[in-house]
Structure 1
Amino acid sequence: MCPAGRTAFIDGVRCVLSLSLERASLVHRLVLLCALWVPGLAVAQPSDPLPGFDLQRLQLEPSGLGSLVVGTGRTLDPGIVRVSVQGHYEHLPLNFTRAWDPGLNVVGLVENKFSGHVTAAVGVLPWLQLGAQLPYIFGQRGEPFLRTPPPNGRGLDEPWVSVRLAPLQVKHGAPLNAAVELAAALPVGQPEILGRDAYAVNPKLQLGLQSEGAQLGLELGALLRPRHDLSPLTRREQDVVGSEVRVGATVTSRGMNSTSTRPELSVLLNLPMQGGQPSGEVLVGVRKHTVTGLDLYFLGGPGVGTAVDMPALRLLVGASFATGEVD
């Protein structure tokens, strides 16, 4: 306590100075505490996670009759089974800063993605084929974007099953090949690594013309799945992942003997139905018949457009085995 009444003047001054120093020390401690506490708040700020959806947009052709990615309306003969295994690399499959030329950017939420696919198809009836595709994400790596962390990790991707009905077949005397197919995703996979949609179906109409040495194919379809608006995360309008119309065209050669090489060219076009940006891919492939029933192949090419989920580059290498004659 400060002395009162007749206390000497000098003692009063000392008391006031002492209280002032105590208060200054208390303020200094409070300032120091805030300085340590505020950065902690900044670090603890919540992130903006990505919604769960399937980042893999490529559907493989399990029968391999025609292109590796575009159907030509053909089916495997009854009892014929084809199984394939492929490794798959994607560069910048999820990039929030993409301009028209995605190759100019070197960073993204997913910069590099490695996955594997096992596909199978079986001919059941002359006009009926069943197919399946099982993908697995071996690894993916990216950089955070603003407050959005990258979906790094590995695990099961979304499997697909399909049924194809082909009432018109050149091998049965029809002037062209025509088929309808319905593919659907199974409700498994890991959404936290962008490996699963809540639902996804892909109806298709396939048409094809073929000669002894070459064939043309056209595929019209639609990918139907939930809509996710990513623009609050990307700060760009029309960054939407959702349903889209899909158009594919291919020209391929046909293997006429056990050692022939089959080049192919396929063009894929994706037109959004719920907002978003159109995109496309140009894929060039080479397939080599080795021994009876065994093929080795390569497929790759660039992605075109500013869609947030279109890879800048896609590469596949694989092998397939068939129990009977295919192409």
Structure 2
Amino acid sequence: MAQLPDSLPSFGLQRLQFEPSGLGSLVVGTGRTLDPGIVRVSMQAHYELLPLNFARTWDPNVNVFGLVEHKLTGHLTAAVGVLPWLQLGAQLPYIISQQGQNYRTTAPPNGQGLDAPWVSVRVAPLRMKDGAGLNLAAELAAALPVGRPEILGRETYAVNPKLQLGVMGEDYQAGLEVGALLRPRHDLSPLSGREQDVLGNELRLGATVTSRGKNKTSTRPELSVLLNMPLQGGRPSGELLVGVRKHLVGGLDLYFLGGPGLGTAIDMPSVRLLAGASFATGEAD
């Protein structure tokens, strides 16, 4: 025990990336971009249960303690259509509260403060609006090197390139996203006592099916599946997220999203819950 590290390395604990345009899913891109001049801004409260738990097994009810047990984050996201095929996006997270328990000799990263902001650029060479058979887009997102490292609010670097495909029917749309998270490798097995407790580069897959709003006050359900496959010795994980979005008047939406985390990766929360509101300056979805 005396030889165990007594502090965590600095890394970004937040793994979920939002879809700032809100076109399709709230968390999976469908290859679409906002029309030129359209701006969408959203605010959401984001709760995670056991987002950092070395003792977790396949059943999250077996072990209910961790270095981070409860985490509440506020997110401000924005996207703007620049050209018919070009969109810019940004995400600004702030850790409102983060609480956990000591694990052996390691103290939890309790506290609040700025998490790393993300910026993104998306190009869409194929659009069904222009007569193509599907929507196709490529996006590059990167984390800015700011945030509080002592509360696991930043990486030295983090880049997330992705390719998005999507199709739309009269009352539904579906999307597929293939990407990679590129970040420094952190081996936490000396702290956890388990092999493969490693954070590093990973392949990311996402799929979604959502309904399409028939009018300005319609309700839109959505189902999204996220899979994370480690490339540097970590543990695979996934999430099943179910959401509903209510269109209100004047471009205002209210929404809820939540679901369980799957697998035994140390940075996969057992449960994720999200509630928020968005406003668009024109027809967004």
Equivalence for 1:104: 62
Equivalence for 2:279: 321
Equivalence for 1:14: none
Q: Contact conserved, 2:173 with 2:212, CA < 8 A, in 1?
A: yes
Equivalence for 1:141: 99
Separation in 1, partners of 2:121, 2:12: 21
Separation in 2, partners of 1:271, 1:45: 31
Q: Structure 2 counterpart of 1:64, which letter?
A: G
SS at match of 2:129: helix
Structure with the bigger RCO (C-alpha within 8 Å, sep 6+) is 2
- After superposition, the CA RMSD in angstroms is 1.3
Between structures 1 and 2, the one with greater helix share: 1
Q: Structure 1 counterpart of 2:135, which letter?
A: N
Q: Structure 2 counterpart of 1:94, which letter?
A: L
Question: What are the ranges of 5 or more consecutive residues in structure 2 without an aligned counterpart?
Answer: none
Q: Contact conserved, 2:92 with 2:118, CA < 8 A, in 1?
A: yes
1:267-324 CA distances to partner (integer Å, 9 max, x unpaired)? 0000000011000000000000011200000000000000000000000000000000
Q: Do residues 259 (structure 1) and 217 (structure 2) align?
A: yes
SS at match of 2:61: helix
Separation in 1, partners of 2:5, 2:188: 14
Pick the aligned partner of 2:117 from 150, 159, 169. Answer: 159
Q: Structure 2 counterpart of 1:67, which letter?
A: S
- 1:45 deviates by 9.8
Separation in 1, partners of 2:257, 2:62: 23
Pick the aligned partner of 2:153 from 167, 187, 195. Answer: 195
1:194-251 CA distances to partner (integer Å, 9 max, x unpaired)? 0000000000000001012100100000000000000000010000011100000000
1:125-163 CA distances to partner (integer Å, 9 max, x unpaired)? 000000000000001110000111000010000100000
Superposed counterparts of 1:1-327, under 5 Å: 48-327=6-285
Separation in 2, partners of 1:64, 1:308: 29
SS at match of 2:17: coil
Separation in 2, partners of 1:201, 1:183: 6
Query: Which 4+ runs in 1 deviate beyond 3 A?
Result: 44-47
Separation in 2, partners of 1:291, 1:212: 22
Separation in 2, partners of 1:143, 1:235: 17
Q: How many residue pairs align between the two structures?
A: 285
Q: Structure 2 counterpart of 1:54, which letter?
A: G
SS at match of 2:190: helix
Separation in 2, partners of 1:236, 1:192: 23
- 1:47 deviates by 5.7
- 1:104 deviates by 2.3
SS at match of 2:268: coil
Q: Percent sequence identity over matched residues? A: 76
Separation in 2, partners of 1:196, 1:47: 20
Separation in 2, partners of 1:204, 1:96: 29
SS at match of 1:268: strand
Q: Structure 2 counterpart of 1:169, which letter?
A: R
Separation in 1, partners of 2:216, 2:97: 36
Question: What are the ranges of 5 or more consecutive residues in structure 1 without an aligned counterpart?
Answer: 1-41
Q: Contact conserved, 2:4 with 2:191, CA < 8 A, in 1?
A: no
Q: Structure 2 counterpart of 1:319, which letter?
A: A
SS at match of 2:150: helix
- 1:46 deviates by 9.1
Q: Structure 2 counterpart of 1:309, which letter?
A: D
Separation in 2, partners of 1:228, 1:170: 42
Aligned CA distance change for structure 1 residues 105 and 119 (closer, same or farther; 3 Å): same
Separation in 2, partners of 1:149, 1:91: 18
Q: Contact conserved, 1:47 with 1:149, CA < 8 A, in 2?
A: no
